[in-house]
């Protein structure tokens, strides 16, 4: 979770802040909250995959990815948040109710670098909203997401094309085991890109496995760490 002195946060908010109002809050699965906001669009308008930030305390911010964009004015945005972590950011999310007003921080959309047309997407629960935003075309992509075991059934019912893996042991263990089994499948031979999101140490292992198996070259793999064991701020 980004951390900065309050005076810096105030300056960033004055430059990038835009008013937002919570329209709806849902809990689609244990450990997840989905919320819709009406928010004034930044320059260039909202796009799925847009990165936004909220100040959950004077010196703390939390980043999320816009999952959906809609409404007659294209200023209705949807965000999916994982709530299995502890901390002030998660507590702030759990307190949200329809009608709440806040300031959202956002600049122009800077999309993830993606290679190829048939990609592998790997991530954990905190990356699910980002994956949804980038896999909307569904053109032959392969998706695997490590999530809490009690959320697998509810998430899979809404996303039958995704592989939802119950988290077991250390972060990334379930994804690593799945990847070791999957790299030999014929469908992997058709992939020409990968996007790896979430736990920093797991992304390193996943990228190494893909490169060592000769399924993908390093330049075809995009990584975006959201958090790391023993380190705050991601």
**CATH topology agreement for domains 6-105 and 119-227:** no
**Which class in CATH covers the domain with range 6-105?**
mainly beta
| Sequence ranges of the domains in the chain | 6-105, 119-227
| Averaged pLDDT score across all residues of the chain | 91
Residue 130: the pLDDT is: 97
> Please, are residues 98 and 163 in contact by the beta-carbon 8 Å criterion?
no
Q: Which fold has domain 119-227?
A: Rossmann fold (3.40.50)
pLDDT digits (tens, 9 = 90+) for 17-54: 999 999 999 999 999 999 999 999 999 999 999 999 99
Which residue did the predictor score with more confidence, 28 or 10? 28
Which pTM does this prediction carry? Answer: 0.92
């Amino acid at each position: 979770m980004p951390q900065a002195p309050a005076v810096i946060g105030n300056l960033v908010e004055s430059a990038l802040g835009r008013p937002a109002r919570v329209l709806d809050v849902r809990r689609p699965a244990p450990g997840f909250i989905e919320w819709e906001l009406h928010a004034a669009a930044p320059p260039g308008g909202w796009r799925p995959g847009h990165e936004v930030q909220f100040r959950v305390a004077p010196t703390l911010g939390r980043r999320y990815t816009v999952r959906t964009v809609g409404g007659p004015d294209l200023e209705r945005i949807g965000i999916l948040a994982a709530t299995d972590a502890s901390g002030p950011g998660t507590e702030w999310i759990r307190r949200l109710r329809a009608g709440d007003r806040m300031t959202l921080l956002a600049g122009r959309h800077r999309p993830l670098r993606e290679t190829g047309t048939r990609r592998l997407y790997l991530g954990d629960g905190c990356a699910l909203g980002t994956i949804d935003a980038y896999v909307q075309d569904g053109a032959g992509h392969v998706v695997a997401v490590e999530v809490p075991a009690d959320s697998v059934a509810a998430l899979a019912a809404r996303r039958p094309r995704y592989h939802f893996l119950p988290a077991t042991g250390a972060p990334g263990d379930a994804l690593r085991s799945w990847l070791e089994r999957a790299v030999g499948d014929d469908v992997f031979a058709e992939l020409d890109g990968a996007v790896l999101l979430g736990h920093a140490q797991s992304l390193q292992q996943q990228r190494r496995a893909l490169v060592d198996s000769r399924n993908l070259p390093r330049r075809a793999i995009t990584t975006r760490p959201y958090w790391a064991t023993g380190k705050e701020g991601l």
